[in-house]
Each structure stands twice: as structure tokens, then as C-alpha cells.
Amino acid sequence: MDKKIKIGLIGLGTVGSGVFKTLKNFENIEIVKIAVKNINKKRDIEGLDSSIMTDDAYKIVNNPEIDIVAELIGGIEPAFDLISTAIKNGKHIVTANKELLAKRGEDIFKLAEEHNRVILYEAAIAGGIPIIMPVKTILAGNKITHIEAILNGTTNYILTKMDVQKASYADVLKEAQELGYAEADPTGDVEGFDAAYKIATLASITFHKRIDIQKVYREGITKIRAKDMEAANDLGYKIKLIASADIDENGNADVRVHPMLVSKKSTLAHIDYVTNAVMLKGHPVGSITLSGPGAGEFPTASSVVGDILAIAAEIGKTDYILPMMRCKHNSAANMLDISETTNKYYISIHAKNNKGVIGKIGTICADNDISLASIVQKCVSDDNTADITVITELVKEKNMQNAIRLIEADGNKVNNLIRVQV
Amino acid sequence: MDKKIKIGLIGLGTVGSGVFKTLKNFENIEIVKIAVKNINKKRDIEGLDSSIMTDDAYKIVNNPEIDIVAELIGGIEPAFDLISTAIKNGKHIVTANKELLAKRGEDIFKLAEEHNRVILYEAAIAGGIPIIMPVKTILAGNKITHIEAILNGTTNYILTKMDVQKASYADVLKEAQELGYAEADPTGDVEGFDAAYKIATLASITFHKRIDIQKVYREGITKIRAKDMEAANDLGYKIKLIASADIDENGNADVRVHPMLVSKKSTLAHIDYVTNAVMLKGHPVGSITLSGPGAGEFPTASSVVGDILAIAAEIGKTDYILPMMRCKHNSAANMLDISETTNKYYISIHAKNNKGVIGKIGTICADNDISLASIVQKCVSDDNTADITVITELVKEKNMQNAIRLIEADGNKVNNLIRVQV
């Protein structure tokens, strides 16, 4: 490398600090400018030179000296405008901004294409786990049609703790908040928004089709009970918040985030606490699973720095364009609605009157073309009520929702309806 | 892509067929020549044009039209001479030949460097699992210091079956041979040679240091008994053939293949049958695990084709040199001998006379600076003998070997000494 590659960092929070500390070790890389919100904040980072700090991020994106801008602030604005400006000024982009990629990815990728620049974003999906680069390079010979992943550490931590401690969602959430694993307002994590952003972007690059984030089905973990965990365990499953994506031969995409009963025999069932994992299925590779830390200062820095080094290795070539690293998903996928899908289900029912209830539920299911894999009646109480756990075979979502309405109309309470891994 | 990239395939066995079938779908790639041993053999491969077949592989490596040679025959010769000739003739190389890489890697990488060509070999290590490319690209910001992997499908199949069926090694080997999972002469797999080739090459590229295959410690699975599996299970472990590599700050490398008790809590314990997995630990990424099919026609083809596409994407640029994909391990690691290492151990002892034996074993261990984590005496028979299972804390290998000699000198039989995951 003849010339040093010049980097501008936007953001010096958890991820930015990790990137700064890691890049220090690379002699061919120079961080020439760092933008922060509060320039007067005391920061305990060794080797940080206050003279390169600014509170005006436009001093980075408009700086002609800078080759690569690393955007590490998150959110839509000002990130979108900063990235757009940087691209127009001829800079390559490295970002960890999953929300921006999911909501405005189309715009920034198009802009990058027009200006012959690349946007890399390994850190935005599954933190330190190498997934975007492998999909774009070494797996490029594959047609990948199925993704099943644990992409949110907070919810996986909560579900693992609920399982291990047989504790309620509310208790574990509180504990997670105290430990800093969950935010004061946990909505983004526990309602599945974060995982939805990530699976939308991952599916786009993997299927080579744009995924409309508005049409990604999303269901969080707030309704999962310790009782569901226990029932799942008895049946050979763990409950995980799974982000999945499927595409069929006609380009119809089924992309979603919801809790799922996963078989204890599957790798995902053993991905615990804040660990993330991505399982891909395709041809010719078959099925592969990549797991590791989904967040955190250093794991995320690993991915940001990997992207920076990949761009740096190409800069200075006569006609560098990083051919395999571009985003090729110019056409939109036809997004299937959840009501059009077919799933297996776990149903937990509290029957008001246990007399004949199994028969009635069986009849409702049969009337709706629902075959049952198992049905367990448990804990008949003195008051003549009963807890019933049903696992179905593959069933149309529409039919299932109809059956649920009828079961409830019959005076029973459906505690939970959770999809089961196929 | 303006011009088609021209490929020469050497070998049309299992892997070669998979590569041929996969590459057919890429319009910018053309297979112009295929070398096979027997040109008259009937092959049931759709679209195979017999006019491009030859039984002289030198017609590929000397063909000026060919850009990339895929060597898929394995073994040292003629593969080494073919690859050397191809590089001298300006061709890039894609190979799945783990034995050649382990034994002659230094020579061919040096030659490739001199001729400004690359050798890619994703398929040589862990089949379809993306590992070499991620290590060279997206993980390039890391200092990886520990690798722990299951790299041989045959032995993992045998160990899984022994565990599940509580069967003997000999019985399961026979079954595996009948099913085609083990070869008639299984030595290369069951004695750990195959895994040793793979870990040596993986460690070289990961540590940026040449690993001397002659100094890789190697121990196979032939002595593992169903009883050891059972005892391990009771203690919370599975027994796996683990290929591992460690490097310290001074560049001392500890690279080995041997059976190991791995905690049921670790991901590797759940990698069963022919699946492979690689766990890497380093900074800043932390610990990541990649798992998937370690062999087979299509998974291996996925990696070969990924490598071919990576080279193809760069050919035609003015000064293409695939910067991140080169091999940078020009200096040799100082290889630690197993006797210099420190490990935890599982010891299975058959005591001839159970009277006072625990005390004696305890004294021998104490005299050799060996702390015990657990000791279980079981199945005292009518003949006054006893089976004793010991798990130690971290102990010097030298001390352990000395203690074993003393325990045996005292009239006991040491059934097995197996290292335990730390």
C-alpha cells in the first residue's frame, strides 16, 4: 500500500470506540476526522487526538481528503443525508445502520451505483458474525432460498433466561434492563423491529430482490409465558424469536419475525443469551449456520473494520469497483402476506369446561382442514377447566385464524398461538 | 463482464461433477476443457460435451486460452506439477487439495506470488462452510489466536453413531463403510490425517504463519470405547475428534488433532454426523462458530465455484491482484511439541485391586502436580477390580504422561487418556 487510506468516523459511541481502538493497529489506515454529538464530553479512549474531533459531521462527508466514511450513529436522519452527501462527494460508505438500510436502502444503493461507490454493512446484521461478505463472495454460486436466524440479542437473552429460570417475561425484562441488556423503552427489540430491519436487508442481498420492510410480518415476544416455554420443552422444542425469509421460484418472498418453537435437535435451539445465528439453505451448499456475538463494542468493530479493510485493499487500483461487493437487488420481491402462508402451530388453550372439549376442538380443526400432530390435555382443575396444548401439521394461516375464532367463540381462551419450525 | 472467463477442470469425480453442474448456470463462465483419468468412462452428466474432455491434464495447464485451473484430483503428484505448471503459465488456481496445501503449500504459494497469481482453496477446508474467504476478508481486522474445529465428517459420523447407539467403534466403522461414509481403508480419516491437513492450512492462513504439518500432533479415534462415551455423557461432555490450533504472543503455535471431551454446553458438542464446524476466537470479534456440510458433491462445489467467481470478478481489470485473497504466511511458526503443552484430561482406569487404589492414584497425581476436578469409582466387580474415571484440572502433558506410567506400574490398566476442552 503506497498511500494511507483516510477514514472519517461519524459517531464515537460503543461501536465507534471499538472501531477507533481496532483501526489504530493498521498502519495503512488513518482516521483523519471523527464527528461526535458533544465535543466536550470526556472520553476515556487511549490515543484519541482531540484535534481531529468535530461536532459537525458535514466536515467529514465534505472533506475531499477522506476516502471512506464510517457512519455509526444509527437512525434515519441525519444519517441518510450524511451518507448521500458523502457518496456524491465520491466516498465509499461503511455503516452499521440497519434501520436506514431497511427503510432507505434502495435510495442509497442506487446513489452509490450511480457514483461508482460501494456501501458495505456487515456490522448492521448479526454484529460480528461474517454473513454479508460470505453471501456476496464465497457463496455467490448459490441460489439461497431459505434463511432462519436469531438476529436480536436482547430478546434471545430474555427468552433464554425465561427458559432457564422458569421466570415470567416481565421479571426477566426487568432484570435485563437492570443489567443493560435491554433498553428502558425495549419496544424496538421486544416487538421485533430490530430483527425485522436486519432480516429485510439480509434477505434483499441474499435473494437479489428488494424486500419491502413495510410488508415484513412482525410479532414480538411479550406474550410468551413461562408455561409456553415449559410445554415446548416437554414436546422437544425451545421458543426463540426467529427472523426468517423464504423465496419461491416465482420470486414470491415470505419474510417475517415472530416467536417460533424450534426443535432441540436444530442448531438454533442451542443459540443462547445474546448470541446470534444465521442459518442459510440453498443449492449447491445445502444448509450452513453461522453463529457468534450479535452486538457489542468489539464484535461490531470487527465487521466495520473488515469492511473498511476490504475497500482499502482496492483503493488505488486503476479501475477498482469492488465487483462482488455491490448490491444487486434492483427488482422488488413480491411480498407474501402472512395470511397466504402455510405453517405448523403450537396452540395453548384454556378450556372453560373440559367435558367434551377435545372433541369440539378436534371437530373445529377438521372443519378447517387442520390436521393435528399432537394434543395434550393437562391439569384439569377442581373448577372443571383444562389446559390443552395442540401441535398441528402444516396448515394454512387463514384456516388457523378461523379455527382460533371458533375455538374462542365456543367459550375457550386461546392463551397463545406460536408457529412451529418446519 | 465483457469477456467470458475460461476454466479448465482437472478431475470430474464427485467434486468435479458438482462444479460442472453448478458452473453451467453462469453465463460469464465457460468450461473449455476437462481432464479425466479415463476418457471412455460413461458419465451421466447433463450437458457434458465429450469434445472438451481429455485424458492429458497438461492440455489444460498449458492451454493459453484458460484463465483459471480448478484442480480437483487430490494427492501430491501429479497435482503439484500440474498446479506449478499452470501458475508459470499465468493461470489462477482453485483447488480442493488439502494434502497438497498442507505438504507443499509453501512452494505453490511462493510460486503464485512470483507470478502475481492467486491460489484459492475454500473447498479444501470444511467443504461448503465459508471459512477461508471470511478469515481473509471480513475478519481481516482480527488477531485470531484460537481455532477449535470438527473437520472430518467420517470420524464425526462414527463418534455420533457410537454415542447414539452405544455401539463399539468396530461395529460403527463397519456400518459406515457399508453406507459409504468411510473408505475401505479408513486410515486417512480415523487416524486424523485428513483433519491434520486441514487444520494446518487453516491455521497458516489464520495466524499468518506457516504451520509445519510434520509437527502437528495427531491422534485418531480408534481407541475410543462406548464406555468412554457413556462416562463422558455422565460428566456433561461429548467426545469429538477436535482439530485445534493456538498461537501465543511469541508466535509459538500449538496445532493438533485428537479426540476431546467437549462440554455439552458448547456448540461443537451438538455438531453431529457428517456436519463440520469451525470455532474461531480472536480480537475484536470474540468467538464465532461456522457449521455446515464438510464434504459432498454440491457443498464442495459451492466453495470451488465461489472461489472461481471471486477470481472471475477481478479478471479483466487493469491491475487485478485480488489483494485480500493472497496468502500471507511467509514466516514459519515455532511449533510447540505436545509434551510442552498444558491440558485437562479424562482418564479411565481399570484398577486390579480396588483396595486403597483411589488413595494411591491421588498420591501419584499430587506428586506430579496434578490437581483433580473429579474422581469417580464405579462398578466394583466380584473380582475386586474397579473402574475409575478421573477428570483433572489443567496439567502439564509431561507430568500427566509420567503419572500414567506410575499408575500402570502400580498394576492398574489405563484404558484411555483423553484431553478435555478448556
Provide the shortest C-alpha distance from residue B70 to chain A (in Å): 15
Q: Chain A closest CA to B145's CA: distance in Å?
A: 15
| Closest chain A residue to B264, measured at CA | A270
In chain B, which residues have their Cβ closer than 8 Å to the Cβ of A293? 285-288
Closest residue of B to A287, CA-based?
Answer: B292
CB contact under 8 A, A285 and B293: yes
Query: Residue B67: is it exposed, middle or buried by C-beta count within 10 angstroms (0-12/13-18/19+)?
Result: buried
Q: Does B308 touch chain A (CB under 8 A)?
A: yes
Q: How many CA atoms within 13 Å lie on the side-chain side of B104? A: 19
Are the beta carbons of A318 and B319 separated by less than 8 Å?
yes
Largest CA distance in chain B: 82
> Which chain A residues contact residue B303 at CB under 8 A?
138, 285
Beta carbons within 8 Å of A362's beta carbon, 6+ residues apart: A372, A375
Indicate which residue of B91, B198, B209, B344 is catalytic.
Answer: B198
**Cβ contacts of B307 on chain A, cutoff 8 Å:** 138
Quick one: pLDDT at residue A1?
44
Tell me how crowded residue B62 is: count the other CB atoms within 10 A of its CB.
16
Query: Would the CB atoms of B306 and A139 count as touching at under 8 Å?
Result: yes
Of residues A353 and A260, more confidence is placed in: A260
ipTM over 0.90: yes
Is residue A298 within 8 angstroms of chain B, CB to CB? yes
> Which of A6, A33, A91, A198 does the annotation list as catalytic?
A198
Q: Which residue from B370, B373, B374 is spatially nearest to B403, judged by alpha carbons?
A: B370
Q: A138, A146, A287, A302: best mutation site toward chain B, by most B Cβ within 10 Å?
A: A138
Q: What is the pLDDT at residue B320?
A: 56
Touching B: A residues 5-64, CB under 8 Å: 18, 21-23, 26
Instruction: State whether residue A183 is helix, strand or coil.
Output: coil
| Cβ contact, residue pair B317, A314, below 8 Å | no
pLDDT in tens, chain B (422 residues): 458 999 999 999 999 999 999 999 899 999 999 999 999 999 999 999 999 999 999 999 999 999 999 999 999 999 999 999 999 999 999 999 999 999 999 999 999 989 989 999 999 999 999 999 999 999 999 999 999 999 999 999 999 999 999 999 999 999 999 998 899 999 999 999 999 999 999 999 999 999 999 999 999 999 999 999 999 999 999 999 999 999 999 999 999 999 999 999 999 999 999 999 999 999 999 999 999 999 999 999 999 999 999 999 888 765 555 666 776 667 899 999 999 999 999 999 999 877 888 899 999 999 999 999 999 887 666 778 889 999 999 999 999 999 999 999 999 999 999 999 99
In angstroms, the separation between the Cα of residue B15 and the nearest Cα of chain A is 11
* Model pLDDT, residue B323: 63
Q: Is the pLDDT of residue A328 over 70?
A: no
Task: Give residue B86's pLDDT.
Answer: 98
Lowest mean pLDDT among A174-178, A262-266, B260-264, B349-353: B349-353
Distance between CA A289 and CA A308 in Å, rounded?
25
At residue A421, the 3 state secondary structure works out as coil
**Measured in whole angstroms, how far is the alpha carbon of residue B51 from the centre of its chain?**
37
Nearest CA in chain A to B271: A267
- Does B283 lie at the interface with A, CB-CB under 8 angstroms? yes
Residues B204 and B135 sit within 8 Å (Cβ to Cβ): no
Interchain pair B139, A306: CB under 8 A:
yes
Contact A285 B292 (CB under 8 A): yes
Q: Report yes or no: B309 at the A interface, CB cutoff 8 Å.
A: yes
**Contact list, B16 vs chain A (CB under 8 Å):** none
Q: Contact B141/A319, CB-based, under 8 Å?
A: no
Judge whether A119 and A338 are in contact, CB under 8 Å. no
Angle at the Cα of A417 from the Cα atoms of A416 and A422, rounded to 5 degrees: 140
User: What is the per-residue pLDDT for A352?
Assistant: 82
- Strand, coil or helix: what is A181? coil
Q: Is A140 in contact with B306 (Cβ distance < 8 A)?
A: yes
A283 chain-B contacts, CB cut-off 8 A: 298
From A68-72, A356-360, A414-418, the region with the lowest mean pLDDT: A356-360
Please tell me if residue B246 touches chain A, with a CB cutoff of 8 Å: no
Instruction: Closest CB to A128: pick one of B285, B290, B291.
Output: B285
Look at residue A398 and tell me whether its pLDDT is greater than 80. Answer: yes
Q: Which of A128, A288, A299 sits opposite B291 (nearest CB)?
A: A288
For residues A19-50, one letter each, b for 16 or more C-beta atoms within 10 angstroms of the residue's C-beta and e for the rest, the string is bbbbbeebeebbbbbbbbeeeeeeeeeeebee
Catalytic annotation on B166?
Answer: no
In angstroms, what separates the C-alpha of A289 from chain B's closest C-alpha?
5
Taking CB atoms and an 8 Å limit, are B288 and A292 in contact across chains? yes
- CB contacts of A319 in chain B (<8 Å) are 317-318
Instruction: Give the residue on A whose Cα is nearest the Cα of B283.
Output: A298
Grid coordinates representing B336 are 510447540
The per-residue pLDDT for range A119-140, each reduced to its tens digit, is 999 999 999 999 999 999 999 9
Kindly state whether A285 is in contact with chain B, defined as any CB-CB distance less than 8 angstroms.
Answer: yes
Which of B21, B26, B298 is opposite residue A286, by nearest beta carbon?
B298
Could you tell me which chain B residue has the CA closest to the CA of A283?
Answer: B298
Q: What is the pLDDT of residue A383?
A: 78
Q: Answer yes or no: do A138 and B133 touch at CB < 8 A.
A: yes
* Torsion angle defined by CA atoms of residues A105, A111, A117 and A122, in that order, rounded to the nearest 10 degrees: 0
Task: Give chain A's mean pLDDT.
Answer: 94
**Alpha-carbon gap: B318 to the closest alpha carbon of chain A (Å):** 6
Angle at A257 between CA A251 and CA A263, to 5 degrees: 100
State how far the alpha carbon of A328 is from the alpha carbons of A306, B68, B135, B406, in Å: 20, 25, 24, 66
With CA atoms as reference, the chain A residue closest to B313 would be A323
Chain B contacts in chain A segment 132-191 (CB below 8 A): 132-134, 137-142
Q: Which residue of A has its CA nearest to B270?
A: A267
Contact check, Cβ <8 Å, B298/A290: no
Residue B68 touches chain A, beta carbons under 8 Å: no
Start-to-end CA span in chain A (Å): 50
**Per-residue model confidence (pLDDT) at position B328:** 65
Which chain A residues are Cβ-neighbours of B283 within 8 angstroms? Answer: 298
Nearest-neighbour CA in chain A from B55: distance (Å) = 27
Q: Which of A270, A297, A318 has its CB closest to that of B267?
A: A270
B305 at interface of A, judged by CB pairs closer than 8 A: yes
Asked if the model's pLDDT at residue A354 lies above 80, the reply is no
CA–CA gap between residue B308 and residue B322 (Å, rounded): 12
- Which of A301, A315, A302, A299 has its CA nearest to residue A72? A301
Average pLDDT over residues A156-165: 97
